[in-house]
Structure 1
């Protein structure tokens, strides 16, 4: 069910699911009741008790929403939750992908209370600085000592794009310029995200493998009718 899971600091855990957890998205033509059941099983596997992960309606933009409690999925590509904004604890958060970079964040405020976040960093999001907007949102809530975890995503050796698109994106984020293993233009989104985080003084504590190269992960480039796995962050006692 989990591709990678760890308690990244006292009381805060990060995880990335794999295909074994099943599709977690409602927008890919799957049975909504089955998706809801998978989400509930995932919450139980994470030890959330009665709590659930907050998902969002991702649109490849750079909107960041502040989440105090579980509710309808906001239309956004990043969410931030702080214990001081929530009734007792930060709201558990989820970001869904199938080649884009799922970025999960954790920091603390001046009282050492957790501030957590997730971001959906696809090609448009990397180009429009969704990562920087997420970090700015965390810092607006007083977050310091922020670290980031990058889940599995398509690598720069596999993500083939038209040459003009590579030029356009790399003009904004130079680190994304890449070439496939077969010699055609490509974009390296994980490298772009790492460069953006480095410029913000946010260390990367973990980076996952290539989705296209791993059958245990969903990949839109490998199969356009596919599910979505999730990057997760939550607090616990």
Structure 2
């Protein structure tokens, strides 16, 4: 399991430099070069990386083979296929990587506000269980994302998300209504029986090592990647 930052690539402003998103207006050649660099660093063939057409849904797609194009209209992938790298792109949303090494099952979820509210992570765990994973064995890693001290939203929105994802409502450092999606997801995962959880505390809104849609508007995307080695 790995998370990238915005450093180490070839993209020009405002996507500088390690942008892995092909849908944000960056030069396609730069994105291709960055993805090739990622594959080289991880030691996997480029064709083994599977990307998603992320639409803030709660849809999970099981896959068992590489895909030459992004998997359509899904915000999570699960697989038992070895050396198949599942990729999630983010720039404030929470990337969630999941793995049951005993069952040989992995998952990757794009948990933005709407997806998290509507159960994308729960659905991903359920899909992994259908492939013989057990919640007690699943390891979960939540990557850098919008932090509760910075993620300011209307009070009604905070209340709505809290109703569906308890533990996510908070107050920003300004004292306004805010959301800490990672906190809500950690609570949800624990309620599902997933207790091996690590959450990167870095806030993409304030940490310039990462792309942030909230901070920058037009910007690139970093990635979370999970794969099961064939050993």
Alignment TM-score, normalising by the size of structure 1: 0.87
8 Å CA contact retained: 1:90, 1:116: no
Give me the whole-angstrom Cα distance separating, in 2, the residues matched to 1:204 and 1:91. Answer: 23
In structure 2, the partner of 1:34 is 30
Q: Could you list the per-position Cα deviations for residues 92-116 of structure 1 after superposition, in whole angstroms to 9, with x for gaps in the alignment?
A: 11101010100000004xxx35211
- Residues in 2 aligned to 1:125 and 1:101: alpha-carbon distance in whole angstroms: 10
- SS of the aligned residue for 2:3 comes to strand
Q: Distance in 2 between matches of 1:205 and 1:134?
A: 15
Decide which of 107, 124, 134 is 2:114's aligned counterpart.
124
1: CA distance, partners of 2:104 / 2:117: 28
The runs of 5 or more residues in structure 1 that have no matched partner are 1-13, 84-88
- Please name the residue that 2:52 is paired with: 56
- After the TM superposition, list the runs of 4 or more consecutive aligned residues in structure 1 that deviate by more than 4 angstroms: none
Is the counterpart of residue 79 in structure 1 residue 77 in structure 2?
yes
User: What's the Cα RMSD here?
Assistant: 1.3
Identify which of 217, 221, 225 aligns with 1:228: 221
Q: Any conservation in 2 of the 1:117–1:138 contact (CA below 8 Å)?
A: yes
Q: How far apart, CA to CA, are the structure 1 residues paired with 2:196 and 2:4?
A: 19
User: Match of 2:124, SS?
Assistant: helix
Q: Please, which runs of 5 or more residues in structure 2 have no aligned partner?
A: 9-17
Question: Which piece of structure 1 moves more, 130-139 or 64-73?
Answer: 64-73
Q: Whose strand proportion is higher, 1 or 2?
A: 1
Q: Distance in 1 between matches of 2:123 and 2:150?
A: 27
User: CA separation in 2, counterparts of 1:204 and 1:59?
Assistant: 28
The alpha carbon displacement at 1:190 in A equals: 0.6
- Aligned length in residues: 216
> TM-score w.r.t. structure 2 length?
0.89
Deviation at 1:189, TM superposition (A): 0.5
Whether the 8 Å contact between 2:50 and 2:70 is mirrored in structure 1 is yes
